[in-house]
């Protein structure tokens, strides 16, 4: 048994609309993907290899997407407050720490119950990250952003798609 999921493409944000709803769609799709993988590994009948597969996903696909998202948010820094930047940094660091902890747990052959408890922390931290991004950028309007910022937001979604066209 392996853990796999696909992420649906987020709907483009229409013109003259704030980014909050669009970001919520992007994050919902990301959370669904992560939850599908983690839930498979948290199942009572999941063995070490299913948990290992989930950790591989978290260490590769998820880690790359988080690196991209953190870089995008850093480049969009002029568009949100200093206190928000601090919280985003802290949430990103926490996600990296929890990701590493899940990896170490699998290497130590933990039980499903132990893995599940740590996975829930990881999911909660991801939810906090997503809410912080939505708070930071949600009130912005697509049309008010310069083209480079728009391109960064497309990267944040993880899909090369037309937004606001």
Q: Are 157 and 28 in contact (CB under 8 A)?
A: no
62 near 53, Cβ under 8 Å?
no
- Choose the weakest-confidence range: 47-61, 100-114, 134-148: 100-114
Q: Is residue 115 part of a domain?
A: yes
Q: Is residue 1 assigned to a domain?
A: no
2 pLDDT exceeds 60?
no
Nearest-5° Cα angle at 70, 65 to 75: 125
Average pLDDT, the chain: 82
Q: What average pLDDT does range 3-28 have in this prediction?
A: 65
pLDDT at 14 over 80: no
Distance CA 98, CA 121 (A): 8
Ranking 66-70, 83-87, 126-130, 159-163 by mean pLDDT, the lowest is 159-163
Quick check: is 79 in a domain? yes
Residue 7 lies in a domain: no
Number of domains in the chain: 1
**Residues 70-125: pLDDT tens digits?**
988 988 899 899 999 999 999 999 999 999 888 887 765 666 778 888 899 999 99
Residue 4 within any structural domain of the chain: no
Does residue 37 register a pLDDT over 80?
yes
| Residue 41: Cβ-neighbour burial (10 angstroms; 0-12, 13-18, 19+) | buried
Q: Quickly state the pLDDT bin for 161 (edges 50, 70, 90).
A: very low
Per cent of the chain over pLDDT 90 is: 41
Quote the Cα angle for 31-81-9, to 5°.
Answer: 25
Does residue 62 lie in a domain region?
yes
The domain in which residue 93 lies consists of: 20-157
pLDDT bracket for residue 11 (50, 70, 90): very low
- For residues 134-149, average pLDDT: 88
Is 35 a member of any domain? yes
Is 164 part of any domain?
no
Comparing 11 with 27, which gets the higher pLDDT? 27
Q: Give me the pLDDT at residue 110, please.
A: 63
pLDDT number for residue 109? 61
């Amino acid at each position: 048994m392996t853990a796999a999921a696909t992420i649906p493409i987020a709907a483009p944000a229409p013109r003259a609309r704030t980014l909050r709803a669009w970001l919520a769609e992007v994050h919902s799709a990301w959370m669904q993907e992560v939850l599908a993988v983690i839930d498979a590994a948290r199942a009572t009948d999941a063995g070490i290899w299913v948990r290992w597969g989930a950790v591989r996903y978290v260490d590769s696909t998820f880690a790359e997407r988080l690196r991209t998202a953190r870089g995008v948010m850093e480049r969009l820094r002029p568009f949100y407050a200093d206190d928000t930047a601090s919280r985003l940094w802290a949430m990103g660091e926490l996600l990296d720490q929890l990701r590493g902890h899940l990896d170490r747990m699998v290497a130590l052959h933990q039980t499903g119950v132990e893995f599940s408890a740590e996975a829930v922390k990881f999911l909660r931290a991801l939810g906090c990250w997503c809410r912080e991004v939505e708070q930071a950028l949600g009130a912005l309007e697509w049309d008010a952003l310069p083209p480079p910022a728009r391109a960064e937001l497309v990267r944040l979604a993880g899909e090369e798609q037309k937004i606001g066209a």
